[in-house]
Amino acid sequence: MKKIILTFILVFSFIGLVLSDPFLDQFDQLNVPEIKMPEISKEVLPNGLKFYYLPNQELPVFEMQALIEVGSIDESVEKKGLAAVMMELLRTGGSLHTSSKEIDQTLEQYAMMVSSETHAEFSVFKIRSLAKDAPLAIKLFFELFTEPAFDEARLNTIKQAMTDEILRRNETPSDVAGREYRQVLFGNESVWARLPGLKTTSQITRDDVVQFYKNYVGPQKIWLAVSSQISKAQILKTISEYSFSWKNSTIDRTKPAPVVKEWKPGLYVVPQKNTQSALTLGHFGDTRQNPDKYALILANYILGGTTFGGRLGSRIRVELGLAYGAYSAYALTTDVGAFEMNISTQSQTTAQALSEAQSVFKNLVTQNYPTDREILDAKKAILTRLIFELSDPFEIVESQVYYDYYGYPPNYLSVYQKKMLAVGKGDIERVLQNYFFPDRLVMVVVGDPEKMGDLSKIGGAIHTLPLDLD
């Protein structure tokens, strides 16, 4: 039975291993195959565009994604939302040669899918088609990117859609809690926490989009991931044909001011009439290049990486029945990320759920350290999930682009696996003591104050935050 061999050739690579190999016992216990990446072709075109290719012989599809080195951190305070508007207008606004309506018709006729996303540090633009239609897909891709029309009518449609989305921003309490938590932790106008608002969105003009594009979008800032049955030579030839005259962007990114890892602990309440409350509590995380990242990932997983099995979920949801979900995340980002615990509970159990989360967290950090069984289970879950998240060639080549963009070492997945397996109990206890602070939590609660119970027992002053849209 033929199946995609996860295409990065997962093998039980016992050849060359000897009994003294420190990873052999853990591979046996965890039943996790050693990761070996396939050879991904990489080239830098004369115009600076970075090209990554991995063949896909299993499916007759063509998939291509551009990572563009532009994101929301490149926007001015007055034009928050500009990067997202630009990316959506590149996707839907047509080109100088083909109207947006004609492109929509072509995409529908050939069953092509085009999507765009905007993140803090980068944006992505993706196209997917049948392999036989790859030349047309590449043509459309680069036509939209190199000669965009920035159609004014489409711009207005995009701005209206963003406005509608902003107006719905407070519909989900957990979304409000997460937003307000990051703004309390990082500051309202930090590039890592701020969001587009009604005013900033309305102020974005076509001239703003055109200038932002010229400033930040060019071939030297593109990382292109491609997977298909079609040969690398054929794809490169077509790409070169449509991108050779593409001019480089004119501005290099200004690096944001570094995050100062200092915060003011406290309890912040956002009043919202509701039958349930959303709780987000935590403090700063760390950076993705931190050598302790593997121990931090394991420590977080044991705390709340999963609602069922993590200590938060086991206590708050399973044992006490206080929450629909209880989980944690420890962000390791380019600059300092955020560590957070998230809980959804009924309004009347808010105070109890918050108190229990503090108790579970403090217990893990100060006295009831992870057991050998918890550590082994966490390693197995993390490494198994890593394998299945990369289940086809395009996911593999796409991931390799991200790893290189972030500056990770060659063969990062193999490095990741071995370093994860090498983490010991003492390493996890050490990071729990040095990176987690149960007595210095920022706590944000969104819900109806009249139904929450007595929050004064939680400790510290209670601050009220307005339920706004920004």
- Confidence bin at 25 (pLDDT 50/70/90): low
Residues 300 and 205 in one domain: no
pTM over 0.85: yes
Q: Rounding to the nearest 10 degrees, give the CA dihedral for residues 289, 255, 404, 375.
A: 30
Task: Answer yes or no: are the C-beta atoms of 216 and 249 closer than 8 Å.
Answer: yes
Residues 283 and 213 in one domain: no
User: What is the distance between the alpha carbons of residues 104 and 336, in angstroms, rounded to a whole number?
Assistant: 41
**Which range (373-377, 385-389, 400-404, 427-431) has the least confidence?**
385-389
Residues 233 and 321 in one domain: no
Q: What is the pLDDT of residue 386?
A: 84
Domain boundaries, position 431:
266-464
- Confidence bin at 42 (pLDDT 50/70/90): very high
- The CATH number assigned to the domain holding 410 equals 3.30.830.10
Residues 143 and 280 in one domain: no
In-domain check, residue 111: yes
Domain boundary among 208, 243, 278: 243
452's CB contacts (< 8 A; 6+ apart) are 269, 277, 347, 348, 350, 351, 445
Residues 146 and 217 in one domain: yes
Mean pLDDT of the chain: 90
- Inform me whether the pLDDT recorded for 117 exceeds 50: yes
Distance of CA 111 to the CA centre of its chain: 28
Residues 326 and 226 in one domain: no
In-domain check, residue 226: yes
Task: Answer yes or no: are the C-beta atoms of 26 and 36 closer than 8 Å.
Answer: no
Q: What is the pLDDT of residue 20?
A: 36
In-domain check, residue 428: yes
In-domain check, residue 24: no
- Please state the rounded mean pLDDT for residues 97-114: 94
Using CA atoms, how far residue 16 sits from 12, 19, 20, 38, 206, in Å, is: 11, 10, 11, 19, 61
Domain boundary among 210, 243, 276: 243
3-state SS class at 115? strand
Per-residue pLDDT reduced to its tens digit, 171-222: 999 999 999 999 999 998 899 999 999 999 999 999 999 999 999 999 999 9
In-domain check, residue 190: yes
Instruction: Give the burial class of 425: count Cβ atoms within 10 A of its Cβ; 0-12 exposed, 13-18 middle, 19 or more buried.
Output: middle
Distance linking the first and last C-alpha atoms of the chain:
53
Per-residue pLDDT reduced to its tens digit, 176-187: 999 999 999 999
Provide the percentage of residues in the chain whose pLDDT is more than 90. 81
User: What is the distance between the alpha carbons of residues 103 and 91, in angstroms, rounded to a whole number?
Assistant: 10
- Please state the rounded mean pLDDT for residues 344-371: 96
Residues 220 and 281 in one domain: no
Domain boundary among 243, 276, 293: 243
Residues 460 and 338 in one domain: yes
180's CB contacts (< 8 A; 6+ apart) are 268, 270, 280, 444, 446, 465
Residues 237 and 325 in one domain: no
Residues in the chain: 470
267's CB contacts (< 8 A; 6+ apart) are 443, 445, 455, 458, 459, 460, 461, 462, 463
Q: What is the pLDDT of residue 461?
A: 80
Distance of CA 447 to the CA centre of its chain: 27
User: Into how many domains does the chain fold?
Assistant: 2
49: left (phi over 0), alpha (psi -120 to 50) or beta: beta
Q: What is the pLDDT of residue 29?
A: 65
In-domain check, residue 252: no
**Which range (16-30, 79-93, 361-375) has the least confidence?**
16-30
Per-residue pLDDT reduced to its tens digit, 405-423: 999 998 898 899 999 999 9
Q: What is the pLDDT of residue 470?
A: 72
Residues 237 and 275 in one domain: no
